[in-house]
């Protein structure tokens, strides 16, 4: 069993990474493998609406010029998928949006190929917009017939400079509880 966690922040070791790691720490404690994936440094293009994925039906995006298909493969091989995004102008980062558009379209073209995998969103924010980001990330899971565990609050942590999110005790606890619930759910689904 394994969980793959995509960090959509432009900062590899920033607050989103810290929040995701707090979730993964709990997942690992339950004996589930966890792989963090940094989108920083890769420029992902959005969907170009070519609809070739509906013709090819090969679980791949027809645009092969970036890393998207390796991310899709990681999702296909995982029991659980975490999407982490900072709040940028009250919305998800551009890289996470590209991941959602292209992976989401490939999934729809291939009979909801991620259905019944466990999915959860994680959001870093300085001040405002996090619940909007949280919603945007969850639309990806819910349209694809994925199963979304909850936590003790919406999955967000507050901080501006890298590391500040550690001072948000409730946010960090929310991540730990999310990790426990995610692991519990993955174990149930695999039993
Ligand atoms: C382009 C950009 C836009 C941002 N927009 C918002 C915003 O709308 N609301 C907010 O509270 N913080 C905003 N922030 C602050 C980040 O969400 C915050 O610093 C967050 O902790 C960054 O996560 P990271 O360390 O993983 O990059 C913005 C930051 C950047 C770089």
Per-residue model confidence (pLDDT) at position 10:
97
**Mean pLDDT of the region 68-93:** 98
Q: Among 7, 87, 94, 168, which residue has the most ligand 1 atoms within 8 Å of its CB, making it the best to mutate?
A: 87
Distance 85 CA to ligand 1 centre (A): 9
Instruction: Give pLDDT, residue 89.
Output: 98
pLDDT of 31: 96
Residue nearest to atom 22 of ligand 1 (CA): 86
Give 78's DSSP letter.
Answer: -
Tell me how far CA of residue 153 lies from CA of 35, 49, 91, 110, in angstroms: 24, 36, 19, 33
Hey, what are 1's tokens? 């069993």
In this structure, how many other beta carbons lie within 10 angstroms of the beta carbon of residue 154? 16
pLDDT of residue 114: 98
| Cα R_g (the chain), whole angstroms | 16
Mean pLDDT of all residues in 143-166: 98
Please give the average per-residue pLDDT across 107-121, as a whole number. 98
Over residues 22-65, the pLDDT tens digits come to 999 999 999 999 999 999 999 999 999 999 999 999 999 999 99
**pLDDT averaged over every residue in the chain:** 98
154 lines ligand 1 (CB under 6 A): no
Residue 156 phi/psi, 5-degree rounding, is: -135, 150
What was the pLDDT predicted at 140?
Answer: 98
Distance separating alpha carbons of residues 140 and 187, to the nearest angstrom: 22
State the pTM of this model.
Answer: 0.98
């Amino acid at each position: 069993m394994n969980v793959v966690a995509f960090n959509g922040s432009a900062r590899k070791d920033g607050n989103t990474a810290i929040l995701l790691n707090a979730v993964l720490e709990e997942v690992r404690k339950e004996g589930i493998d966890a792989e963090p994936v940094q989108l920083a440094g890769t420029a992902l293009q959005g969907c170009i609406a070519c609809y070739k994925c509906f013709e090819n039906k090969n679980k791949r995006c027809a645009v092969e010029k970036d890393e998207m298909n390796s991310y899709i493969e990681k999702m296909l091989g995982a029991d659980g998928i975490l999407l982490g995004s900072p709040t940028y102008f009250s919305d998800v980062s551009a890289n996470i949006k590209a991941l959602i558009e292209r992976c989401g379209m490939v999934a729809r073209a291939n009979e909801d190929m991620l259905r019944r995998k466990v999915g959860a969103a994680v959001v870093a924010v300085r001040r405002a917009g996090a619940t909007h980001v949280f919603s945007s990330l969850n639309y990806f899971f819910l349209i694809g017939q994925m199963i979304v565990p909850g936590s003790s609050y919406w999955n967000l942590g507050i901080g501006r400079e890298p590391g500040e999110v550690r001072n948000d005790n409730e946010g960090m606890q929310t991540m730990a509880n999310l990790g426990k619930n995610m692991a519990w759910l993955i174990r149930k689904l695999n039993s």
